[in-house]
Amino acid sequence: MKSLWLTIVFSCIYIQLFAQMNISTNLRQDGYWDEEKEEWIIVSEDEDELTFFEFNKDFTMFKHTTPGITSAYIIKSQTKDEERNQFELTVVSDVGNKYMMILDVTNNNLRFLYEKKGTMWMVRHSIKRTWFDDDDDE
């Protein structure tokens, strides 16, 4: 049931309903891709890192607030992967770092992927709640 609800919510993103989307998270995991084992190796986990993502109404930018910093990102492109039930975004941070961001409806998480010194790294946030603000609420 939860997966069905999230599918509907994230489908709203794809058709751009001009409402501000917000996501709260309640777990951060960092890891890297092990090519030999063909799996993600989690190197750290923080259940106390509660963060917020605030997307603008046009879904072209978002702000990510963590306990220690607030960063802004430009969404350069977005595609929907129907088979995996997820959205893939190419984003650039306010300091110029480039990421592939994945909103994974099925697994209820949001991931940032990036390459560093020839290794693929991942920061995964478990989604606690998703909600929308529209102009009528302001």
Q: Which of 79, 105, 80 is nearest to 4 (CA)?
A: 105
The residue with tokens 């975004």 is 89
DSSP state of 135: G
pLDDT at residue 19, rounded to an integer: 76
The helix (run of H) or strand (run of E) holding residue 13 is helix 2-14
Work out the number of other CB atoms within 10 angstroms of the CB of residue 74. Answer: 12
Cβ atoms of 73 and 93 within 8 Å: the answer is yes
Residue-level pLDDT at 133: 87
| Report field, pTM of the whole predicted structure over 0.85 | no
pLDDT in tens, 48-95: 899 999 999 999 999 999 999 999 999 999 999 999 999 999 999 999
For residue 131, give both structure tokens.
């909600």
